[in-house]
Chain A
Amino acid sequence: MSKSLISVKGNKDGLQLLCSEIGSWQEIIAEIKTLLSGENRHFFRGASVLVDIGTRILDAEQVGMLWQVLRDGGVTVRCLQTSLQDELTAGLKSASGAHEGGAHTARKTGPKMMDKDDPVQELSETEYILHKPVLVVKRNLRSGQKVAFDGNVIIYGDVNPGAEIIASGFIMVFGYLRGIAHAGSSGNEKAWVMSYKLQPTQLRIANSITRPPDEEPQWPEIAKIQDGVIVCEGIDLKKYYNASGGN
């Protein structure tokens, strides 16, 4: 009965915490707390886990609670996984508009993966990938749906017009990106956006905003900031095609 809300699984990638669909978020948090402070607490200490929140809708505060309880238990979050919800605002409180920037709120509720004193230090690209949690969304994002996350976001599916992704790290879309994407929302100019077909309504990286060219891209593209402007370029595949003489 007491173990019904959370199940712990392990595979080659590490530990997974699966949150049940029933029970309130408060109950889930309480359950995690007892789990991490119980007789198994030494087992969890220092672990890095994937948290699967199922189809729940969480606001920044609820995600903050999760970060807090896991940090208290000495656990770091490797990845937050979700299967279905209308809106997910994780860690970033208000990150609409590139100029506002969710930097401060994000730092407050977001996980501090690296125990450094200076929280505003700029992470390098690899550090970002290694030290920021990743949100994995395995579905299509439809019009009106929004994902905001303090970390990196990977979408397995399409992002349709009217949908929005905001991430403090990078954004990767394995599908069409037709909505709005904002990478490096807390001001990180090293962030980038990658997509199988990069056709966003609008693209924002850190404090720059751009609208992509109208023609349909021929290959997967990556957008990043070069000399203060957002540039889109084909990735590997393009080089491959050019090298082999095709187009």
Chain B
Amino acid sequence: MGEVIVITSGKGGVGKTTTTANISTGLASMGKKVVMLDTDIGLRNLDVVMGLENRIVYDLVDVTQGNCRLKQALIKDKRFENLCLLPAAQTKDKTAVQPEQMKELCETLKKEFDYVIIDCPAGIEMGFKNATAGAERAIVVTTPEVSAVRDADRIIGLLEAAEIRNPELIINRIRPNMVKKGDMMDIDDMIDILAIDLLGVVPEDEFIVVSTNKGEPAVLDMKSVAGQAYRNISKRITGEDVPLIPLDADTGFLSKIKKFFGIQA
């Protein structure tokens, strides 16, 4: 029996879809059977980020309305045999699916797969309700901005009300230099307000833009710092204990000498 995990945030543009793509690919690369479920009906993106857009025939709405069998709608990833995507419909809207149908769908999927990863749309309306209906575990993505943290707080409250206990936090797009200067909220500030467990911290990385445009998840690139962070997060999801990457990865020769003489970099 697999696990159903919803990736959510409340605010848009914080990196839910990127996180879904990278975590799912990360888990798949570890040999797990994973299915991604895009619930952002009408504004689907996950297929583009995964580079699977041109393979879509049937979608989520077709499955729930019985126009096709579930197996027909699942798209196999081009890199991993054990990774599948169930895309959202682009021509309908969020009301085309009911929470009960989502629940049923998740029940069916989790018999076949180790992980069902749900990409939740922004907002707290129908789309959010659909995405969380079948989930038993939640990951909240936020960026180090007051507005994103405020929305994350609201979402955590709604998740708790929906009986999805102990959501975990991913802090995305953090800039160590700005945090050091005191221009950006640091991790402790955010944990203090949100009071939930930290699953991982993903540093800002220009490579993410390249990889999402190309449809190749960053998690597969060994040079990308964000990719490394997502690999660690995937491991933590499976229960492995991986320490956080130190944020100031400033381990050059000069800084070591400075450290030796006690000079602040």
Contact = CB atoms under 8 A, between A and B. Distances in A.
B160 interface: yes
Interface in A44-76: 55
Given A143-B153, A158-B193, A158-B195, 17 more contacts: A55-B161, A84-B160, A84-B161, A85-B161, A86-B158, A139-B160, A142-B153, A142-B154, A142-B157, A142-B160, A143-B154, A144-B157, A144-B158, A160-B153, A161-B193, A162-B150, A178-B193
Contacts, number: 35
A94 B154 CA distance: 22
A143 B195 contact: no
Interface of A: 55, 84-86, 139-145, 158, 160-162, 178
B161 A162 contact: no
B75 interface: no
Contacts of B160: 84, 139, 142
B107 interface: no
Interface in B156-186: 156-158, 160-161
A86 B195 contact: no
Given A84-B160, A84-B161, A86-B161, A144 B195 contact: no
A160 B153 CA distance: 8
Contacts of B161: 55, 84-86
A140 B195 contact: yes
B150 A161 contact: yes
Nearest to A144: B154
Contact of B154 (A84, A85, A162): A162
9 smallest CB-CB distances across A and B, nearest first, come from A142-B157, A143-B154, A143-B153, A144-B154, A86-B161, A142-B153, A160-B153, A145-B157, A143-B150
B205 interface: no
Contacts of A160: 153, 193
A107 B216 CA distance: 63
B154 to A, nearest CB: 4
Nearest to A139: B160
Contacts of A85: 161
B151 interface: yes
Contacts of B153: 142-143, 160-162
